């Protein structure tokens, strides 16, 4: 199933509730929440209190992308704030297996993200434990960047690896994703697409629909 996960990083925070509602009405399944700590990535975005507040205005699946050092310190807190999927960066965890188990213990779905330069083999021994792999298609930290083309090869390699191992987890892509390159990333093997600026710059409903049109075309094949 193809899912759009709009990243609110690019949203108008003065009308966040309304913008989230528009993406949901136009067919987006998730809301992508980018948490940045100013250490793992240069920016500081938002944390638990903001997520807790937005939780009150939507039933969308909360897809929380933790771009923070040592995320094991905060798994329970993000679960409590309303996360449905918690994704941590492999590069930010000294004890990745332990953090994955921590996420699973909260009853939430577990995802691991890989920066562009991190090889897939970092996940070889934990792949069976995961619900989702997030293949970053830009270096994390900022919205509005351009997709790094070689990352699509990583998506293809991951889809192939999963096939060989009989696994069917979600493959998410994040960074520089637009309706105009959605077909290419889906063909590579991704099924959860994060869209920040491509969803929230301009007409949110029309932008979301542009993704949905590509999804419908790909699903009818």
Active site residues: 34, 174
193 binds ligand DX5 (CB under 6 A): no
| Binders in 58-117 for ligand DX5, by CB under 6 A | 65
Q: Which does 145 bind (CB under 5 to 8 A by kind): ligand DX5, Zn ion, none?
A: ligand DX5
Contact criterion met (CB below 8 Å) for 109 and 133 = no
Binding positions for Zn ion, rule: CB under 5 A: 34, 65, 174
Our finding on whether 189 is near ligand DX5 (CB under 6 A) is no
DSSP label at 203?
A: -
| Part of the chain binding ligand DX5 (CB under 6 A), chosen from 23-31, 51-59, 81-89, 142-150 | 142-150
Partners of residue 105 on adjacent β-strands:
none
Nearer to Zn ion, 138 or 152 (CB): 138
Residue 159 tokens read as 């889809």
**Nearer residue to ligand DX5 within complex by CB, 4 or 110:** 4
Q: Tell me which DSSP letter residue 120 carries.
A: G
Nearer to ligand DX5 among residue 152 and residue 163 (C-beta): 152
With a CB cutoff of 8 Å and minimum separation 6, the contacts of 168 are 162
Least distance between ligand DX5 and beta carbon 161 (Å): 23
Pick the piece of the chain touching ligand DX5 (CB under 6 A) from 16-24, 123-131, 137-145, 212-220.
137-145
Which residues 6+ apart lie within 8 Å of 164 measured at CB?
none
Q: Which residues contact 29 (CB under 8 A, 6 or more apart)?
A: 3, 4, 5, 60, 61
Q: Are 219 and 186 a contacting pair, CB within 8 Å? A: no
Residues that bind ligand DX5 (CB under 6 A): 7, 9-10, 32, 34, 65, 138, 140-145, 174-177, 194-198
């Amino acid at each position: 199933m193809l899912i759009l996960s709009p990243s609110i990083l690019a949203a108008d925070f003065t009308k966040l509730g309304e913008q989230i509602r528009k993406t949901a009405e136009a067919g987006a399944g998730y809301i992508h929440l980018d948490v940045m700590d100013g250490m793992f990535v240069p920016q500081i975005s938002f944390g638990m209190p903001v997520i807790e507040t937005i939780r009150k205005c939507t039933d969308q699946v909360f897809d929380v992308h933790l771009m923070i050092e040592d995320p094991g310190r905060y798994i329970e807190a993000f679960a409590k704030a309303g996360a449905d999927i918690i994704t941590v960066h492999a590069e930010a965890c000294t004890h990745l297996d332990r953090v994955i188990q921590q996420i699973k213990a909260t009853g939430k779905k577990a995802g691991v993200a890989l920066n562009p330069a991190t090889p897939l083999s970092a996940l070889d021994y934990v792949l069976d434990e995961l619900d989702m792999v997030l293949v970053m298609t830009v270096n994390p930290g900022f919205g509005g960047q351009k997709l790094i083309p070689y990352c699509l090869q990583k998506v293809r390699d991951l889809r192939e690896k999963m096939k060989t191992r009989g696994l069917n987890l979600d493959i998410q892509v994040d960074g520089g994703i637009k309706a105009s390159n959605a077909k290419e990333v889906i063909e590579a093997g991704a099924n959860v697409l994060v869209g920040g600026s491509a969803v929230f710059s301009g007409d949110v409903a029309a932008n979301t629909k542009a993704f949905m049109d590509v999804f419908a075309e790909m699903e009818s094949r």
